[in-house]
Amino acid sequence: MIPFNKPCVIGSEIHAIQQVITADKLSGNGEFGKKCMKWLEEQLTCEKALLTPSCTAALELTALLTDIQPGDEVVMPSYTFVSTANAFVLRGASIRFVDIEPSTMNIDPQAIERAITEHTKAIVVVHYAGVGCDMDTVLTIANNHNLWVIEDAAQGLMSTYKGESLGTIGHLSTISFHDTKNYTCGEGGALLINDASLIERAEMIQEKGTNRSQFIRGEIDKYTWRDVGSSYLLSELNAAYLSVQFQHANEINQNRRHSWAQYNHGLMNLQLDGAIELPTIPNVCEHNAHMYYIKLENEMERNQLRQFLKQNHITAATHYVPLHTAHAGKQFGLFVGEDRYTTTESDRLLRLPLYYGIGEEAINDVVNKIQQYFQS
């Protein structure tokens, strides 16, 4: 049996968690939390990183920090996870869904321009599979219209666009440490703040709307209610687990990249034969091998191959149902422009098993079964 995913574990996480327990501090922003935030700030070169309970929570923080109000509009791809939209819907915004580019499954910048109105406040881009969006074009459009740029970099840690880390290009960005992501702690996330003017407010919103963070640093002698807020901290137990993953980030990245390359090499002949399409990585992007997907001729063939792999004890997965076709998507959003690629490309996409330590043998197995499917 080859599962689709296995949560990443190095082995020494248990010792870090033990240290937290003996140190008598389990709540957020402790020693391990600070270590993780510092690692993110230095590794990615960003102004400020805050650990959050999830990427979903970090996205909610971005909606609060950009002061999204009822009636505001936010532009994003329809091909994304529900949290990308929900964070803004919770603030009363309506979503303007736009099409993707088929080569990367990332937002089509040309489609953004057409979706902007006088009510538009923000553009949210999603770096699908850890492959960077066309950020130069997105930033130009955002500057022209005075819009916030938020990167949903849930899948993008350790990837770059023109040498800059994903998550450090827009005003704000979010990362996920869910157990399906490259670096995990079960449930967890981070908010990256690249616009320094937002740091103080972010710390307050994260701490239930109080200036408790300043109090803990000894900058003030009591803390009070200053702003709207919620509890957006990551437990120190989770941070301990995460800190070990960060220590081994290069090793995890190289292992995944190796597996990704093995798939790409092993399936290349099927692309040359025109049977399937392999992922495209733009020249300006370095990716983190978050995902290996192939595209079949159509939905029927995708489902047939998936079934064939399942019969052979291999779990392959489909991905997002375009949000504009979902019940809530119709209620809270609108697809602007033509759905040229979102539906057709998502219908024929299949994700193959890929996780830290999957091993060459398992990938060989998957590749051979796919070859076998096309021979018969």
Ligand X SMILES: *Cc1c(COP(=O)(O)O)cnc(C)c1O
CB 86 within 8 A of CB 111: no
> In angstroms, what is the minimal distance from the CB of 171 to ligand X?
17
Which H/E stretch holds residue 74?
strand 73-77
Measured from the CB atom, the residue of 178 and 306 that comes closer to ligand X is 178
Closest among 177, 245, 206, 182 to 17, alpha carbons compared = 245
Q: Outline where the chain has alpha helix (H).
A: 13-22, 31-44, 55-65, 82-89, 109-115, 135-145, 199-206, 212-216, 236-247, 249-272, 299-311, 327-332, 342-347, 360-375
User: What is the smallest separation between the CB atom of 186 and ligand X, expressed in angstroms?
Assistant: 10
Question: What's the CA gap between 259 and 256, in Å, rounded?
Answer: 5
* Residue closer to ligand X (CB basis): 56 or 238: 56
Residues 188 and 56: their CA atoms lie apart, in Å, by 9
Q: How far apart are CA 195 and CA 169, in angstroms?
A: 10
Compute the least distance from the CB of residue 306 to ligand X, in Å. Answer: 20
- What is the nearest approach in angstroms of ligand X to the Cβ of residue 77? 10
CB of 54 to ligand X, least distance (A): 3
Of 54 and 259, nearer to ligand X (C-beta) is: 54
Q: Which spans of this chain sit near ligand X (rule: CB under 6 A)?
A: 54-56, 80-81, 83-84, 126, 152, 154-155, 176, 178, 189
Beta-carbon contacts of residue 235 (< 8 Å; ≥ 6 apart): 26, 27, 28, 53
Smallest distance, ligand X to C-beta of residue 260, A: 17
Q: Compare residues 84 and 194 and give the one whose CB is closer to ligand X.
A: 84
Q: How far is CA 106 from CA 83, 128, 164, 294, 341, in A?
A: 16, 6, 18, 15, 11
| Of residues 51 and 111, the one with the C-beta less far from ligand X | 51
Nearest-CA neighbor of 54 among 82, 83, 31, 27? Answer: 83
Closest CA to 125 of 133, 114, 116: 133
Look up residue 315 and give its amino acid: T
Q: Residue 36: which residues within 8 A CB-CB, separation 6 or more?
A: 49, 51, 190, 239, 242, 243, 246
Burial class (CB in 10 A: 0-12, 13-18, 19+), 45: exposed
Residue 181 a catalytic site member: yes
Distance between CA atoms of residues 247 and 4, nearest Å? 25
Pick the catalytic residue from 25, 38, 121, 181: 181
Q: Cβ 290 to ligand X, closest distance in Å?
A: 8
Which residue from 244, 182, 290, 289 is spatially nearest to 39, judged by alpha carbons? 244
The residue (of 123 and 267) whose beta carbon lies closer to ligand X is 123
Give the pair of three-digit tokens for residue 117: 């109105």
Residue (78 or 211) nearer to ligand X, CB: 78
* Residues with catalytic roles: 181
